[in-house]
Amino acid sequence: MEEGSVNRVSAIGNAAGPAAEWRRFIMTTTKLIELAVSMKKRAYCPYSGFAVGAALECSDGSVFTGCNIESASFSPTICAERAAAAKAVSEGHTDFLRIAVAGSGPDLCWPCGVCRQLLSEFSPDGSLRVIAVDGNGRWESATLAQLLPRAFGKHSIRCDSL
Ligand code: THU
């Protein structure tokens, strides 16, 4: 996973072979994880006490961060991934490449089902690389297609015009 030193052009130009998926990324994995971890400081989580940070990289190299935001009326709570996604889409970035999600517990912080569904909207082929991080900085990754197989999407409702 030697993706760290590539620039945007070579990342795209070298896209072939088994390591191609990693080469197209602009940030290092370590940096994206560090950003996600640092966003835990912004978490507003007085009810669960479980801080989550996210860092989302888009295909043009732009990165959007997010944290979880809880509500006293619990259901409006927003996960860190969806906070980051809302920032990206509202700034016009809708092609998601990679997201790091850092939790605060002993388990890797894989996105919840609702977040998987929303992320799928902006990675319809499921190639989004999801990096789950635990409270100690240990991480693993998987594609969104692995996390949400047979996803419901715009094809499912025959929105061909979208
Ligand atoms: N949470 C996230 O931010 N992302 C996830 O993928 C899982 C859960 C947040 C929501 C809530 O504020 C807290 O973690 C406990 O569920």
Strands 96-102, 129-133: pairing is: parallel
- Of the pLDDT bands very low, low, confident and very high (cuts 50, 70, 90), residue 158 is confident
Distance 111 CA to ligand 1 centre (A): 8
Q: Which residue, 3, 67, 74, 13, is CA-closest to 41?
A: 67
Give yes or no for residue 104 CB within 6 A of ligand 1.
no
Q: Name the residue at shortest CA distance from atom 3 of ligand 1.
A: 79
Distance 74 CA to ligand 1 centre (A): 12
**pTM of the shown model:** 0.86
- Is 81 catalytic? The answer is yes
Q: Name the residue at shortest CA distance from atom 10 of ligand 1.
A: 79
- Of the pLDDT bands very low, low, confident and very high (cuts 50, 70, 90), residue 25 is confident
Give yes or no for residue 68 CB within 6 A of ligand 1.
yes
Distance 91 CA to ligand 1 centre (A): 23
Encode pLDDT of 75-90 as tens digits.
999 999 999 999 999 9
Distance 79 CA to ligand 1 centre (A): 5
Identified catalytic residue from 34, 57, 70, 81: 81
3-class secondary structure per residue, the chain: CCCCCCCHHHHHHCCCCCCHHHHCCCCCHHHHHHHHHHHHHHCECCCCCCCCEEEEEECCCCEEEEECECCCCCCCCECHHHHHHHHHHHCCCCCEEEEEEECCCCCCCCCCHHHHHHHHHCCCCCCCEEEEECCCCCEEEEEHHHHCCCCCCHHHHCCCCC
Q: What is the pLDDT of residue 3?
A: 38
Of ligand 1's atoms, which has the minimum distance to the CA of residue 45? 12
